[in-house]
Amino acid sequence: MTDHNTMKIIVIGKSGQLAWELSQLSTPEQEVICLGRDDVDLQDDSALVSCFKQYNADGVINASAYTAVDNAEGDVESAFALNATAVGNLAQACKALSLPFVHISTDFVFHGDKGSPYLPGDEINPLGVYGASKAQGEQLIANIYPEHSVIIRTSWVYSTHGNNFVKTMLNLMASKPELGVISDQIGTPTYAKGLAQACIASLHSHVVGVHHYTDTGVASWYDFAVAIQNIGLELGLLDKKIPIKPITTAQYPTPAQRPHYSVLDKASLVKALPELSLMHWQEQLTHMMTALKNEREA
């Protein structure tokens, strides 16, 4: 750590929902600086070193990723450039300056055939290009800078900011007579606000290795959609109830295969960060949708 009063945390990623939630955690004692692709070239590790020096960085959080899961199937090069090559460059730059590094990964590194919560050390076996690119990013960190890096895998992230399932569902529920939502993919929704707090806590506590963070509980996309409608009606974000029908993955084919089951075991991160208070996904969803209502009414 450098010898100045304000801790300076560089967040790679500016437009995403996690970066936005991290920016909300900026205080006079802890400055969060979000940098986008226009600010620094992630394909140039020497430019990254210069950038981190210029900002007098104390730590780096990588919240940028190629997350268009279906598009990745036809755009392999872009997915690997951002999810693997750039991650290796970030690890290299952090290593050069001995900076703690937090990297966000995904439940999509797993195949989805386990049937009980995935542990951080479980075998990874991604189904598609997105998962494979994220898995390679993890491997590069493990090869380059394991001593001061933490990889946090998460799933089904949403926020008041940016594009996500919650906001898409609210729009569809307001405009469609009925909806079909997939009921045979099981995971856990995660409010990006809590994930942001876990990232900052991991940086402060110098957590290393691979860990998992999501909210608690288990849901299908169908369960998630039903909860969104119920809370939306309760809060006045929706004014009418529409039928929501459970459908199977087979009934809704997509270019990328997705894991059928990707619940993540969070015990190792809870042990490393005892101050972390995990909440049930439905409680977090209520918090997020209340914040969304307040924003819309402001």
Q: What percent of the chain is predicted at pLDDT more than 90?
A: 95
Q: Side chain identity at 212, as an amino acid letter?
A: H
- Which of 140, 278, 272 lies closest to 208, judged by CA? 272
- The 3-class secondary structure across the chain, one letter per residue, is CCCCCCEEEEEECCCCHHHHHHHCCCCCCEEEEEECCCCCCCCCHHHHHHHHHHCCCCEEEECCCCCCHHHHCCCHHHHHHHHHHHHHHHHHHHHHCCCCEEEEEEHHHCCCCCCCCECCCCCCCCCCHHHHHHHHHHHHHHHHCHHHEEEEEECCEECCCCCCHHHHHHHHHHHCCCEEEECCCEECCEEHHHHHHHHHHHHHCCCCEEEECCCECCEEHHHHHHHHHHHHHHHCCCCCCCCEEEECHHHCCCCCCCCCECCECCHHHHHHCCCCCCCEHHHHHHHHHHHHHHHHHC
> Is it the case that residue 165 has pLDDT exceeding 70?
yes
Q: Which residues contact 284 (CB under 8 A, 6 or more apart)?
A: 189, 190, 191, 193, 194, 215
> Is it the case that residue 3 has pLDDT exceeding 50?
no
Structural domain includes residue 220: no
275 φ, ψ (degrees, to nearest 5): -80, -10
Residue 44: give the domain boundaries.
7-164+191-214+262-278
Question: Which one from 130, 213, 222, 261 is the annotated catalytic residue?
Answer: 130
Structural domain includes residue 291: no
Instruction: Identify the pLDDT of residue 298.
Output: 83
190 φ, ψ (degrees, to nearest 5): -140, 120
Instruction: Identify the pLDDT of residue 1.
Output: 45
> Is it the case that residue 166 has pLDDT exceeding 90?
yes
Q: Specify the pTM.
A: 0.96
Instruction: Identify the pLDDT of residue 4.
Output: 60
Structural domain includes residue 2: no
The CA radius of gyration of the chain, in Å to the nearest whole number, is: 19
Domain with 208 in it: what CATH number?
Answer: 3.40.50.720
> Is it the case that residue 2 has pLDDT exceeding 80?
no
Question: pLDDT digit string (tens) for 180-229?
Answer: 999 999 999 999 999 999 999 999 999 999 999 999 999 999 999 999 99
> Is-contact 66 134, C-beta < 8 A?
no
Question: pLDDT digit string (tens) for 221-244?
Answer: 999 999 999 999 999 999 999 999
| Total of domains in the chain | 1
Structural domain includes residue 227: no
Instruction: Identify the pLDDT of residue 5.
Output: 76
Mean pLDDT for all residues in the chain? 96
Structural domain includes residue 237: no
Structural domain includes residue 240: no
Structural domain includes residue 284: no
Instruction: Identify the pLDDT of residue 64.
Output: 96
Query: Stretch 138-152: mean pLDDT, rounded?
Result: 98
* 130 carries an active-site annotation: yes
Structural domain includes residue 186: no
> Is-contact 262 112, C-beta < 8 A?
yes
Query: 171 burial class (0-12, 13-18, 19+ CB within 10 angstroms)?
Result: exposed
